[in-house]
Structure 1
Amino acid sequence: MLILDAHCDTITTIMKSGEGLQKNNCHIDLTRLKEFDSYVQFFAAFISPEHARMGALRRTLDIIDKLYQEININKNDIMLCRNYMDITNAITNGKIAAVLTIEGGEALEGSLPSLRMLYELGVRGITLTWNYRNQLADGVLDGISGGGLTPFGREVVGEMNRLRMLVDVSHLSEVGFWDVINLSKSPVIASHSNSKKLCSHARNLTDRQLLALKQIGGVTGLNLYPLFLTDSGKANIKDAVSHIEYIVSLTGEDTLGLGSDFDGIDCAPDGLEGVQFYPVLLNELLKLNYSEALVKKIAGDNFLRVIKEVL
């Protein structure tokens, strides 16, 4: 069964810790990923607020350079993938398929040429905002202002469509979300977001938003942060399964995937403390009489479909 995780912050985490990608104390490393037959991991270059205010593009390049270094060191185990065919080739050759993304449009520093050059470096998806306002749009924690996409943000979405990049609406204000839905000519993803019906955190998506992603052919990635799974902030595997059951029942079997947020979260649900526990989560679905075909869609095939269409 192919597993695809649409969001992790492992590269920035190992930059802080001084560890490597092959084996570390993080949620994800290659040693554990190699236990799976087929694995696709989105690696995000996260632009934190301190870097967003100054030197965002340089920080982005530093993170991309770190990923490139790790891929070069571990080239027998992992491959940078720029499109669907690359992913197929990586899996055929027994390698982890790495997809490079950016979390935070601050990385562009207000420049479409920067977007195009980051594309040339292999970036294939951008989470337009983190939690706060940038040159593209308001973030979800600035939602009170009622701001959506800026004129530059609209240009970015259009250019990402032209370049065939994944537009990611996780962290985006609700007004910005609807701007993207109405503007994008390609399927849109929410790489790491959950159901607001089950957990009221501002980062989660309403039923209407989840249905809109379905209508545009997009996919939502299940986030494993306990604060996004339950209002109590304490969670286990059953809480993750509850979000899966709710979203699938609402929007159908083609709309949900995995987007753990591993190594970007300070804690994980009990029983899901790292990538090695994904089989436990998927087996829980099989125990609930989910068909193997549906579990495969959630595990990776739904996101892979969008990749095939967009990239």
Structure 2
Amino acid sequence: MIFVDAHCDTITTIMKTGEALKNNKGHIDLDRLKKYESFVQFFAAFIAPEQAKMGALRRTLDIIDKLYREIEINKNDIMLCRNYNDIVNAINSSKVAAVLTIEGGEALEGSLSVLRILYQLGVRAITLTWNFRNQIADGVADSVTNGGLTPFGREVVAEMNRLGMMVDVSHISEAGFWDVINLSSAPIIASHSNAKKICAHKRNLTDEQLLALKKNGGVTGLNLYSDFIENEGKAEMKHVIAHIEHIIGLTGEDTLGLGADFDGIDKTPSGLEGVQCLTNLINELLRLNYSETLINKIAGENFLRVIKTVAK
């Protein structure tokens, strides 16, 4: 079984705490990732609102540099991967496959040149917005204006398609989501978003969005933040399963993966307190008689398909 987790904030977290990627007190570290036979971890460079207003690109580069340094220190255990073939090589070498992403299009500072340079540095997915409006689009917190992609945002999506970068619509306004769906020539991802039908949080996706993601060939990543799982924020494993069952029942087997949001969240369901607990989720799916084929798709194969299709 190959695990793919499409979103974590571990690098920005260890930059705050001064801990190391190899071993720390957060949700993810290399010691725990290495206990899995095959693991692909997306590492996000998160641009917080206070950094988005000034110095967003410098902050992005600082985070990328931190990941690069941690990979160099731990080069026998982890490898930066730009495409599917790199991931295969990492797995065959018994290394964690690291995929570099950005959370917050503020990092581009309104420049396609910056986008192309970030691609050269290994960035293979960008969450176009965080919760608020930027040069690309409105975020979910600004969706009252019904704003979608800006003219620059449309150029960004087209250029990401051309380069071979995954367009990530988690956090974007609903109008922005539909603009991306209508514009993108490649499958898109919602790296860490759940089903709004089960939990009515603004960060989750409607059934119409999930069906559009299916038609597009994209994938949404199951988010393990309790507030996105259960309306009262008191999530248990059964509530996580409810999202899985709803999304699979609505879209079929190919639209759901994992996007835990580890190290970017402060509340997880009991039994899912860190990356080491993902086996608990798999065991619960087995107990519920999910087929091994479907479980493998959720664990990683669906996101691997998109990576193989899009990332260059």
TM-score tier, shorter chain, comes to over 0.9
Match of 2:310 in 1: 310
- Measured in 2, the distance between the counterparts of 1:189 and 1:286 equals 26
- Measured in 2, the distance between the counterparts of 1:238 and 1:130 equals 28
Q: Match of 2:34, as an amino acid?
A: K
Q: Secondary structure at the match of 1:63?
A: helix
Match of 1:201 in 2: 201
Question: Structure 2, unaligned stretches of length 5 or more?
Answer: none
Match of 2:3 in 1: 3
| Displaced runs of 4 or more, over 4 A | none
Correspondences of 1:159-198 after superposition (within 5 Å):
159-198=159-198
- Measured in 2, the distance between the counterparts of 1:262 and 1:238 equals 19
- Measured in 1, the distance between the counterparts of 2:2 and 2:236 equals 23
- Measured in 2, the distance between the counterparts of 1:90 and 1:83 equals 11
CA deviation after TM superposition for structure 1 residue 266, in Å: 1.1
- Measured in 2, the distance between the counterparts of 1:267 and 1:72 equals 31
- Measured in 1, the distance between the counterparts of 2:274 and 2:236 equals 13
CA deviation after TM superposition for structure 1 residue 267, in Å: 1.6
1:197-256: per-residue Cα shift (whole Å, max 9, x none)? 000000000000000000000000000000000110111111111101110000000110
1:130 aligns with 2:140: no
Q: Match of 1:271, as an amino acid?
A: G
1:154 aligns with 2:154: yes
Q: CA RMSD in A?
A: 0.4
Question: Structure 1, unaligned stretches of length 5 or more?
Answer: none
Q: Secondary structure at the match of 1:43?
A: strand
Q: Match of 1:110, as an amino acid?
A: G
**What TM-score do the two structures reach when normalised by structure 1?**
1.00
Aligned length: 311
1:26 aligns with 2:20: no
Correspondences of 1:52-131 after superposition (within 5 Å):
52-131=52-131
Q: Secondary structure at the match of 1:195?
A: coil
Match of 1:248 in 2: 248
- Measured in 2, the distance between the counterparts of 1:3 and 1:236 equals 22
CA deviation after TM superposition for structure 1 residue 6, in Å: 0.2
Q: Give me the identity figure in percent.
A: 73
**What TM-score do the two structures reach when normalised by structure 2?**
0.99
- Measured in 2, the distance between the counterparts of 1:289 and 1:302 equals 20
Match of 2:217 in 1: 217
Match of 1:36 in 2: 36
